[in-house]
Structure formats: C-alpha cells, structure tokens
C-alpha cells in the first residue's frame, strides 16, 4: 500500500517513469485474449474471470468455431456451451451470462456489441473491468485502466495507490496516467505482472522497474 507520506508529486513522478519504462520494454503490448471481432473479445473476457488468458485461448478456437454469430450464442443449449467452456471454471454461471448477454445484444443492440460503458455494463456478466477491456481492445476507446489481479498487485507494489478496491485503484491510476496511455498501460502492466512481478517470489533482479519500486527498495522515495 502507498505510504501516507507519499506526496502527490512523488507518486505522479513515479507513474511517469513507470510508463516510460513500460513503453520502452513493452512497446507492442496488447490484450492477450485472442479474438477477431468485438463479440469474440467480449465472450473471451467474460470467460477470463478467475481464469488465465492462456486457458481461455485454449478454449475459444473450438468455441468460436461452434458459435459464429451473436445469434448462435443467444440460442446456445446451456449444456453444450458449458461443456465447451468447462475448463475455464465457473462454467455454469459463465454459460448463463454469455447466453443472456448475447440475447440482450440481439434484442437491444441489433446484434452488435455496443461501444459505450453504460451499454456494456448493462449486459449480463459484464462489469467495469470487462467493459474497459472490450472498449480498449475492440474499439480503441480509452475508457479507463483495466484493473485485474496483476494491476492491483503492481499498483500497490509500485505505490501508485493506497487501495485494494479495484474501482478506487482505477480512479487513482486514471488520474496518474494520461488518458491516451490507458489502453497501453493496462496491457503492459498485465504482461509485466505475468513475466516478472509475479504474486509469489517476484523476479526483482530481472525487473526493469526495480530501481524505482518502493517494494523492492523500501527506502526509495522516487
């Protein structure tokens, strides 16, 4: 967590340096969920809850081959859909949400994935994190930093926030990171969290952010 004596200026400077280093080392960062359409990204993101992107990417080729359109998903037999997504966990609830989400897209949005936060959050299985991911990854719209478990962990280790609540962390990061960098920052931090700043035994000696990280250097005031 951020220390109370962290000044806003110090945190802003640290965020600026973090962003610059991420741009240097992850210039091509993008969502790791494989997709070809906004609908596929929406479904993949729903599946990614409590599941790794790698696992989702193992499931979606067969899934998207079986259900090619939003109407295919809307009319899916729950048992068949559940069988295809079983390995992503919480498959019954995810199948229910995907079917309900697709039905709403057909009924309210002409079968198209909407590109506004309000509309996306009205869909089954879609919270703010999922909406941010879809808006950024499918439409290039910077609606906010995507706050997943990796972003929560790094934001706290880098002392860019003093919160654990995802919505409050997003508010802090949105204030620190320029809006035109929200999409990149989200994807780069997630990649860095997977590769180096892992939950257990982070690879600090290999980390490009080590020199300015207060967690790796407790006395650091950068």
Catalytic residue status for 92: no
Evaluate whether 179 touches 142 at the Cβ level (below 8 Å).
Answer: yes
Catalytic residue among 129, 168, 179, 203: 129
Q: Look up 129 and say whether it is catalytic.
A: yes
Residue 20: Cβ within 10 Å count = 10
Q: Which of 148, 168, 172, 195 is catalytic?
A: 148
Instruction: Say if CB 73 and CB 43 are below 8 A apart.
Output: yes
How many Å apart are CA 84 and CA 91, to the nearest integer? Answer: 9
Q: Give the active site residues.
A: 129, 148
């Amino acid at each position: 967590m951020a220390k109370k004596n962290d000044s806003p200026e110090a945190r802003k400077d640290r965020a600026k340096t973090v962003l610059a280093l991420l741009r240097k080392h992850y210039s091509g960062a993008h969502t790791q969920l494989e997709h070809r359409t906004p609908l596929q990204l929406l479904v993949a993101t729903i599946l990614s809850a409590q599941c790794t992107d790698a696992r989702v990417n193992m499931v979606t080729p067969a899934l998207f081959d079986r259900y090619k359109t939003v109407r295919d998903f809307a009319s899916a037999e729950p048992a068949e859909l559940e069988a295809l997504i079983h390995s992503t966990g919480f498959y019954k609830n995810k199948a229910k949400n995907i079917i309900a989400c697709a039905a709403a897209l057909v009924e309210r949005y002409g079968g198209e994935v909407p590109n506004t936060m309000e509309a996306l959050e009205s869909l089954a299985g879609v919270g703010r994190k999922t909406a941010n991911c879809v808006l950024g990854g499918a439409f290039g719209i910077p609606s906010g930093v995507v706050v997943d478990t990796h972003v929560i962990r790094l934001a706290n280790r880098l002392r860019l926030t003093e919160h654990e609540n995802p919505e409050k962390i997003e508010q802090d990061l949105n204030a620190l990171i320029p809006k035109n960098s929200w999409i990149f920052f989200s994807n780069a931090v997630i990649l860095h969290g997977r590769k180096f700043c892992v939950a257990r035994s982070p690879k600090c000696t290999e980390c490009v952010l080590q020199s300015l990280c207060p967690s790796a250097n407790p006395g650091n005031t950068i």
